[in-house]
Amino acid sequence: MPELAVLGLGSNLGDRESNLAAAITSLGIYNDISDINSASFYESEPLYETNQPKFFNTVISCNTEFSAFQLLDAAQHTELLLGRPKEREKNQPRIIDIDILCHGDSYIETEELIIPHPDIVNRKFVLVPFCELMPDYKIEKIGKTISELLNLCPDQSQVVKHVMEKNA
């Protein structure tokens, strides 16, 4: 039975818009991932290591036959395909970053994977596109909807919708 999964994507190196689009396209190639919906792309300041380029972020939802760990493998494989090094320091610039935010009603806490993602509540760059896509989605473990979490979010950073350029 397919599960609804929600993933956060970010990029701040190279052509950020193309990197996000390529990641979404690559994930859609998997037979076990279907019905991908994407929020708009948003530009945001880096939160932790601030001496780096701004990010483009989005959130996608999809149906998947993958377990959470199989989805993690697919996300990591997609990151490698798009040029992200396997080993890297935390909070450094990156071509692509894919995080599983939610996977059905799963509650997972391992060294490799925590679902729901533990930083959802503190990251406006995740909550703004997530709220665009699914404002009434309720994270049962937290007991709040995405729109409620956005209203309570302590993150004061600017998250600005990116207007896609139209080719003439």
Task: Determine the Cα–Cα distance for residues 63 and 33; give it in Å rounded to an integer.
Answer: 6
Report domain extents, the chain: 3-161
Q: Which CATH number fits domain 3-161: 2.40.70.10, 3.40.50.620, 3.30.70.560, 3.40.720.10?
A: 3.30.70.560
pLDDT of residue 168: 46
The three state secondary structure string of 102-165 is EECCCCEECCCCEECCCCHHHCHHHHHHHHHHCCCCEECCCCEEHHHHHHHCCCCCCEEECCCC
pLDDT of residue 93: 83
Quick one: pLDDT at residue 165? 63
Instruction: Yes or no: say if 134 and 62 are a contact pair by the CB < 8 Å rule.
Output: no
Contacts of 64 (CB under 8 A, 6+ apart): 2, 3, 5, 32, 33, 34, 71, 103
Stretches in the chain below the pLDDT threshold 70: 88, 91, 165-168
- State residue 5's pLDDT score: 98
CA distance 40 to 59: 8
Average pLDDT over the chain, rounded to an integer: 92
- The predicted pLDDT at position 167 comes to 55
